Structure 1
Amino acid sequence: MLFIDNNLTNPYFNLATEEYLLKNFNEDVFMLWRNEPSIIVGKNQNTLSEINYEYVKEKSIPVVRRLTGGGAVFHDLGNINFTFISTDDSKSFTNFRKFTQPIIDVLKELNINAEFTGRNDLTIEGKKFSGNAQCNYKNKVMHHGTLLFTSVINDISSALKVKPTKFEGKGIKSVASRVTNISDHLKTPITILEFKDMIMKHVSKMNDNYSVYELSEEDLGNIKKLYDEKYNTWQWNYGSSPKYSLVNEVKFSGGNLEFYLNVEKGKITEIKIFGDFFGKANVSDIESLLIGEEHNEEVIEAALSNINIDDYIAGAIVEDIVKGLM
């Protein structure tokens, strides 16, 4: 087994690293890593329905889609991520306990009673500190999980909070749960890096045939290519969302606006705008203009930049329309 202590904290790069290791290495891999503040959404989720878009935009929080299913999670430097990539024995894909037991064992050494609960969570005193997910590739299974150690819990709830009635669709929804930090349950304080070292040492004891692996310049170049072409693109992170509908309402200086739209493969297929507004021109012109455009703030702004919104919705500006559509 190859052991990789990844000290890079760019979420786009780290998710690309996982895919690169899964698809290009024959050896089993264990990797520990952390991300700067970011939201990581499951492969089958509608990204916009999982995030507090205004908060994410204001805080410039990266949003990245991963290869595995499951729900959206918030990462920061107070959270450790662990990844196992191993040959699939035909039982591993449904055996979450196999990959999470080492974490439970490490916490036991710290006199913390952690439990595997539900489908894919680890809890302490009934509160979640770890969510886990898996995927298959050929004869390999990749399992990864989060470990909240000193994460900012308020940021988690703020970044993932979204109006429940705003979106409808087939995307997998995250399930809200009470969360806790591991550090809150320690009898004797340790740092997150000390905890990270404990995990690495424990897993190494479980694997006699292991070696520490440093990503080569060739590895880094290939990962950067995957980062540029996939993980740092709107199409992967937002456009790959399942078909969905959005219903939203905003107030502006001239009254109220209601927005209804359908999105498929990341592009607007249907849109209707209603409200108690006045306008000289027909609002259907705006609707027609946006059909076929990406459900992307910058794209929508560009499409509306060449028309006078006030002619269609008196008192409104482009920002009002964009807010309603996002």
Structure 2
Amino acid sequence: MKYIENFSNDPSYNLAFEEYCFKYLPEDEDYVILWINEPAIIVGKNQNTLEEVNIEYVKENNIKVVRRITGGGAVYHDLGNLNFSIIKNTGENKKIDFKRYNIPILNALERLNIKCELSGRNDMTIDGKKFSGIAQSIWRNRALNHGTLLFDTELDVLSKALNVNQDKIVSKGIKSVRSRVTNIKPFLSKDTTMESFREVLLKYIFEFEGEEPVKYELSEKENAEIDKLFNEKYATWEWNYGYSPQFNYKNYKKFPFGGIEVRLHIKNGIIDNCKFYGDFFGSANVEKLEETLTGKSYNEESILSLLDEKELKQYFGDIEKDEFKELIFGI
């Protein structure tokens, strides 16, 4: 096994880094990466991003939203959370196996006198509280096992960032299961920094494997390929939001000039069908607006750039652009 250093805190770059290492580094070796993200929500591959994220809170607090290549639920990362990625050859065992690949992590934490266990399908817990969410992916003859370690995370921010009103969205996406959570740091016997925790964890992982830590140095070509994956995939709206499963969105707002109900069907991040209902009065036929929005990306920049307040007032009456945004996006 070899370790790969990555000191970036950019979640989009870090997930590109991880995917490249998982799929394209030499297959005759296993790898471990320990990495830290700035505040971000990382959604599972099969999730509807809008169903998992408190969009308004995320924007106000500059929290990034990025999709990963593994399944499972949405998790919150910040500078107090340490992520681990273990990349191993599977041999003939091409099955998702959380216990097999997380024993080194559990053992390392036990060496730090943390009494923890693998709980349920894919969580690690202390005293019944979750401090790690784990996900896996199999590709060819390799397994990627990665997860979070809540070391000193701002748990109140975690709660708010993932607090979503589910009433407006109905989708086929895999929904997250919320759990009681805790940090690791209060359970350590002495005051430990994130950096020292990272170093000790790496040491104990290699001790468990019966090996000395050896670093894998990425080449210029490999770094260039990671940059390409970052720019073409992980930094794009299409991957982080548009990849979401198809879903239906509905919302109703009461205004002094009348009520408006909107119903949208979103497919591959594109508005596939759009209908407005209500007792509003407008001088223009609202069907024209429905036609304008159909086929457009379901994001604020795309939708709001198409319209100005003068047009909106022609369709609905005395509505402001921010009020229309709240109607369409629920924020």
> Smaller-chain TM-score range?
over 0.9
Q: Distance in 1 between matches of 2:158 and 2:94?
A: 30
* 2:159 alignment counterpart: 157
Would the aligned equivalents of 1:20 and 1:223 in 2 still touch at CA under 8 Å?
A: yes
1:281 pairs, out of 284, 288, 313, with: 284
1:194 pairs, out of 193, 196, 199, with: 196
Matched letter for residue 272 of structure 1: K
1:322 pairs, out of 309, 316, 325, with: 325
Q: 2:167 is paired with a residue of what secondary structure?
A: coil
1:265 pairs, out of 263, 268, 274, with: 268
1:297 aligns with 2:323: no
* 2:120 alignment counterpart: 118
- Match runs of 1:136-175 below 5 Å: 136-175=138-177
Matched letter for residue 243 of structure 1: Q
* 2:87 alignment counterpart: 85
- How many residue pairs align between the two structures? 326
Q: Distance in 1 between matches of 2:177 and 2:257?
A: 37
Q: Could you report, residue by residue, the CA deviation over 1:185-236 in whole angstroms, capped at 9, with x for unpaired residues?
A: 2232211111111110011213326521233332221111111001000111
- Unaligned runs of 5+ residues in structure 1 are none
Q: Distance in 2 between matches of 1:239 and 1:315?
A: 32
Post-superposition offset of 1:278: 2.7
- Unaligned runs of 5+ residues in structure 2 are none
Matched letter for residue 265 of structure 1: N
Would the aligned equivalents of 1:80 and 1:149 in 2 still touch at CA under 8 Å?
A: yes
CA RMSD of aligned residues (A): 1.7
- What TM-score does the superposition give when structure 1 sets the normalisation length? 0.95
* 1:2 alignment counterpart: 2
Post-superposition offset of 1:102: 2.0
Q: Distance in 1 between matches of 2:146 and 2:71?
A: 11
For structure 1, which segment, 181-190 or 40-49, has the greater mean C-alpha deviation from structure 2 after superposition?
A: 181-190
* 1:23 alignment counterpart: 23
Q: In 2 relative to 1, CA 54–256 (structure 1 residues): closer, same or farther, beyond 3 Å?
A: farther
Post-superposition offset of 1:91: 3.2
Q: 1:98 is paired with a residue of what secondary structure?
A: helix
Q: Percent identity?
A: 46
* 2:247 alignment counterpart: 244
For structure 1, which segment, 86-95 or 158-167, has the greater mean C-alpha deviation from structure 2 after superposition?
A: 86-95
Q: Could you report, residue by residue, the CA deviation over 1:269-314 in whole angstroms, capped at 9, with x for unpaired residues?
A: 1112233433222222211110111111100011224961111111
Post-superposition offset of 1:5: 2.7
- What TM-score does the superposition give when structure 2 sets the normalisation length? 0.93
Q: Distance in 2 between matches of 1:107 and 1:166?
A: 41
Q: Could you report, residue by residue, the CA deviation over 1:2-41 in whole angstroms, capped at 9, with x for unpaired residues?
A: 2013111100100000111112112211100010001111
